[in-house]
Chains A and B, each alone.
Chain A
Amino acid sequence: MSDFFYLIAQQTINGVVMGCLYVMVALGLTLIYGVMNQINFAHADFVTLGGFAAYFFVKWMGGGYLLSILVAFLVGGCLGYLVNLMIFAPLRERGDELRPLIATIGVSVLLENGALIAFGPVPYQFDSPYDETIRLGKIFFTTQSLLVVIVASSSIAALYAFMKYTFIGKALRAIAQDRETAGLMGINQAFLIMLTIVIASAMAGMAGAMLGPILVLTPFAGASVIVKAFAIVIIGGFGNMAGTIIAGLLVGLIEAFTTQYLDSGVTDLVVFALLLIMLLVKPTGLIAEKKEENV
């Protein structure tokens, strides 16, 4: 087979690996938006702090890498719980659309710069024990990428099944469709919204733990991922899980191929140009939800 084919296959694999991580982060955003029409800007910092939690768990406590992913999951969940407790829950009662968004921007700036002061700007080398290279013909990938794809796709599948088949998932979808009616049906909104944020944030933390060994770990690691996650949720259609998954993989692939054929510096340019075009042409995203009032 020709080198061209291998190059395409190689970049497809790279794209899917990054895409999986993006989906894990973006799904959280879209879930939160689905149940309460809010964006959590601090989601980015859950990724970063999840990564650092995993790093220090391995480094200081001598824990295993796989266990550190679980630690990051828990740290992310706790952070999500706190943000809901301190920001979303009290502001929801005042019923303002933009205020919670502005507040979470504040939290995000605070966490990012707090992390900068605590950890410094120098990148941390987060070594995963899964660094063997697998070779298929001329295609290379590490066991870490394989791990990312397995963990990400199984957690995404679990989340999808949870939303689709469990009672709580059904209740969450009911809230997403019509909050007031769902409340009248005896669904405990406050609890379910809290649960959504905790699950979403835990996934973000977990993504951070897996991202660390692939990219470098800095206080800005999450910020670079979250802007793409924003692009993904909009391209996929806000609040739509399937659209988010497709768009996440798409952005991962676009990134891999622009790095190969254009320049790694312009990947953000391409992704955000796509986002703006999408917003102009079809603001409801690839798969439109039935809510149109935001567009």
Chain B
Amino acid sequence: MSEQLSILKKIPNWVYYLVTIGLIIALPILLGGSAYWRSILITISLNIMLAMSLNLILGYTGQLHLGHSAFYGVGAYATTLLIKKAGFSFWLAVATSSLLAGIIGVLLAFFATRLKGHYLAIASMAFAIILHQILLNWGSMTSGPLGIYGIAPPPPIALFGLEIKFNNQVNLFYLISFVALISYIVLNNILKSPIGDTLRAIREDEVSAASLGINAKLWKVFSFGVGAMIAGLAGSFYPSFVGTLVPDAFAVIESFSYLAMVVVGGMGTMIGPIIGAVVLTLLPELLRSIGDARLLVYGLSLTLVVLFMPGGILQAIQLIKTKLIK
């Protein structure tokens, strides 16, 4: 069976990257001038970043973290407030706030170094609830539940003498998917290095990992820090895409939707969460005629996948593949 698969393996990485870049460039053109589809493409890119970064913590390090929406929210609010209140430039604000999200991830990791399994699940959820409550209650800073309106798109950048403006959604999509691609490359390289094996060792058995001289605490902190930073980076671009910022976009239920993307796509693989993010962003849109079924779809698919296909869509694809080759 493996002949076809080994051909796939022989294709060097840069070919995949080129195909991906080609796809990114082609997608907005192929989908025509529809603003609706463009905003879905941007949402998919953001969700891919969130699912990938959650997967680093959940799928590779094995930490049941239910507070990812908090990091996303920190990135979004910090960027907006740094620009609005502290006069930061857009790019400096993006860098500062993803760093801030990373630091907050490290703070949460202190809980992860002490707690396991269900305790960590509840602690991380409590963490996200606290952040949501702060956003709701700190009216003078965040305007509370009313939210912040009229957020400008990223400022234009000059590239090869051309001025690229981000007030059109195609360019914004190129920008955000470029950031997502960079995040993928960073995560992929981390996980292919010995660090990836270290994290997997912690996931499989922390005690045995420790007996091999692995400092599990340190690597959990690392995993949370990097995961939070990428989620914060995604958050930095969210306000300038949507134009408004309300606390409920970072309610704890959103953490569950990223969890659904990771699990439905295939936890603990690089490609799985990407598939999950694409499928779970598109599926509710296709069902829009029935009503706002987004969370209903997430809940149902999460339950069904855990019960019947624990490896997610990726496992299903592999099953089909082996059956076809046989």
Contacts and interface: CB of A to CB of B under 8 A. Distances in A.
Interface in A265-282: 265-266, 268-269, 272-273, 275-276, 279-280
Contact of B256 (A97, A105, A294): A105
A39 B117 CA distance: 10
Interface stretch (A137-145, A185-193, A226-234): A226-234
A195 interface: no
Contacts of A231: 122, 126
Interface string B106-125: 00001100111111011101
Interface string A249-260: 000000000000
14 contacts: A99-B310, A101-B118, A102-B302, A102-B306, A103-B303, A103-B307, A105-B256, A109-B298, A113-B295, A227-B125, A231-B126, A266-B137, A268-B133, A272-B129
A63 interface: no
B114, B123, B127, B304, most chain A CB atoms within 10 A: B123
Contacts of B304: 106
Nearest to A272: B126
B205 to A, nearest CB: 13
Contacts of B121: 39, 98, 101
Given A39-B121, A113-B296, 10 more contacts: A37-B118, A105-B66, A105-B302, A106-B299, A106-B303, A110-B299, A113-B295, A117-B296, A276-B126, A279-B115
A80 to B, nearest CB: 16
A91 B307 contact: yes
A246 B111 CA distance: 24
Interface in B290-320: 291, 293, 295-296, 298-304, 306-307, 310
Contacts of B263: 102
B307 A86 contact: yes
Interface string B273-299: 000000000000000000101011011
B25 interface: no
Contacts of A294: 115-119
A106 B134 contact: no
B262 to A, nearest CB: 10
B113 to A, nearest CB: 11
Contacts of A263: 137
What band does the interface of chain B fall in when counting residues whose beta carbon is under 8 Å from A? 35 or more
A108 interface: yes
Contact of A106 (B118, B122, B126, B306): B306
B119 A109 contact: no
A279 B133 contact: no
B187 to A, nearest CB: 22
A269 B137 contact: yes
B64 interface: yes
B259 interface: yes
Nearest to B66: A105
A21 B118 CA distance: 23
A50 interface: no
A265 B144 CA distance: 11
Interface of A: 33, 37-39, 86-87, 90-91, 96-103, 105-114, 117, 227, 230-231, 234, 238, 263, 265-266, 268-269, 272-273, 275-276, 279-280, 283, 293-295
Nearest to B262: A102
Contact of A99 (B116, B252, B299, B306): B306
Interface in B89-148: 110-111, 114-119, 121-123, 125-127, 129-130, 133-134, 136-137
Interface of A is mostly: helix
Given A105-B259, A109-B253, A295-B114, A265 B125 contact: no
Given A263-B137, A266-B133, A276 B111 contact: yes
Contact of A295 (B115, B137, B291): B115
B176 to A, nearest CB: 26
A89 to B, nearest CB: 11
Contacts of A91: 306-307
A288 to B, nearest CB: 13
Contact of A230 (B110, B126, B259, B310): B126
B116 to A, nearest CB: 6
A265 B114 contact: no
Contacts of B226: none
Contacts of B126: 227, 230-231, 272, 275-276
A272 B303 CA distance: 27
The 4 A-B residue pairs with the shortest CB-CB distance in the complex, in nearest-first order: A110-B299, A106-B302, A109-B299, A106-B303
B127, B296, B298, B299, most chain A CB atoms within 10 A: B299
B291 A117 contact: yes
Contacts of B119: 234, 238, 279, 283, 294-295
Contacts of B64: 98, 101-102
B90 to A, nearest CB: 31
Contacts of B118: 33, 37-39, 101, 238, 294
A13 B122 CA distance: 29
Nearest to A100: B306
A293 B302 CA distance: 28
Contacts of A90: 307
Contacts of B231: none
Contact of A110 (B123, B125, B134, B296): B296
A37 B117 CA distance: 10
